[in-house]
Structure 1
């Protein structure tokens, strides 16, 4: 359980922040940037949910994802270290749930024959925004994982990769199952 009695601590006034392990890092540190970008993804999904009055099942899925993203932030905030007690980690079962939800949403969609421009309904446009922020988070986490001194779980990387797929399929779902998608027309404005 997390208890926040005091919001400001002044400990970050020097440009550093504490990881969940207590270790202090500069605020521009890649690990801090990675879990900060996961938080941005979560905030973008929060905006999407404001536009889902007619998609309650999707709203439930996104609520679960928002909780998962806090798990992922906690996972990234405490680097895995051998010999240390295990902390909260993203699990493969969370990735599996995302895959089931993708398959469920995708079943009603017509096949694509063009790339899609972000747009259509407000919910779809915000889902595309969340997808692009998620992809940025994924790139940062993959870069972090490439450093042998910065361990990252495979499930964390898979979760972000699958989440961006989910957000894409969800955007098509709220665009009248793809009928309202805005299609890219290559070279249209030449």
Structure 2
């Protein structure tokens, strides 16, 4: 499988080693749509769904392994396995969907894992410590951001949306081997 090369290059490797966030845009045209997402949602195993009705949000855990998962997500997961799992880290992923203008996400928070976030459907507001002077910025389809463990961030949906989140869990912290 060909990789995007997201985690390659001296500048990117320096960001990972120094626990600095970085962002960019996937080198593909983002054509994934609601019909494709709903097909994945409707066929996802119930035991791997995380539903938060008060936030009008659904999370599909380990979605990359589903036949209905988009190829670009499978490619990202494979690239992360190739880059990070060699050192014993577990790669996780969740497809988050929020429905309606009142859908909600997590408040300003930090995670105990490194997070690679990809916006898939609709544009939302994102704030990441160390990016854009810690101010919100538009995060649209095809955009991605690397959020090192311990870095504060906040997602603020404006309308219904789909966001893919990939995590690098456990020790060693990837910053020590870059």
TM-score (norm 2): 0.22
**Larger Cα Rg: Structure 1 or Structure 2?**
1
